[in-house]
Amino acid sequence: MAVGIEAKGGITMKNMVLYSLFTVLVCLMFVLPNKAFSQCGCWFSGIENAVSDDPIISCNVSESSATLIVDKGIISGCKNTLTLRANSDSCGVSNNSSPVEPGVACASVGLGGIDPEGICIADLEDFCASLDTDGDGIPNEDDLCPDSILDETIIIDGCDSGVENLLLEDGCTISDLIVEIADEAKNHGKFVSGVAHLLKGLKKDGLISGKEKGAIQSCAAQSDIP
């Protein structure tokens, strides 16, 4: 376990005591795994207890790794973020801390371990899947667009169509689908025709009216995409 200290200005004995207590508590939190609550020894009492009710900054899963970053707020003048990470054979947890006021000592604590059975990455993957990262009401595991654009109206390259940005059953909004078309389009013409094809289907399904289709198409045509 590595502990780093960063200080600015003079450090009083009181600050040093607070810093020491904080470091010991963080170390105990992660060094003493509770098997009754967690299969992975890298985080104490399970992921839910480590995260608590703190805001989740990101929860990313790839084919070979998973990383969860949580905002733990400001403690004793230090901004803290908690990071849980795992891959197929190892795991790690760290508390990264930085001063928000001059003259405050902050600690960064890290712990790592081996995980040859891949238990920890499975824990993180399951936890990330259970979340609703974008807050659209659809869990990530069922959400084809887990980081949806949730603007009230459909906006294309600064042009507000005034049409409601509907959330579809698969977890994608209309704006998400338009962005996907923009990312895949090789030129502006391909983008405009791709949007037209999308809108034709939405109109056919009764999700938008002919007038709304025209407003969105107009914004797509006026845009400078891609």
Q: What is the pLDDT of residues 108-117, one digit of tens each?
A: 888 888 888 8
Exposure of 52 in the CB half-sphere (CA atoms within 13 A):
9
- Cis omega (within 30 of 0) for bond into 226: yes
pTM for the full predicted model: 0.53
State the pLDDT confidence band at 57, using cuts at 50, 70 and 90. Answer: confident
The 3-state secondary structure of 95-126 reads: EEEEECCCCCCEEEEEEEEECCCCHHHHHHHH
- The per-residue pLDDT for 38 is 54
Condensed to tens digits (0 to 9), the pLDDT of residues 140-190 reads 778 899 889 999 999 999 999 999 999 999 999 999 999 999 999 999 999
Q: What CA–CA distance (Å, rounded) separates 122 from 45?
A: 16
How far is CA 43 from each of CA 58, 119, 155, 167, rounded to the nearest angstrom? 17, 12, 42, 36
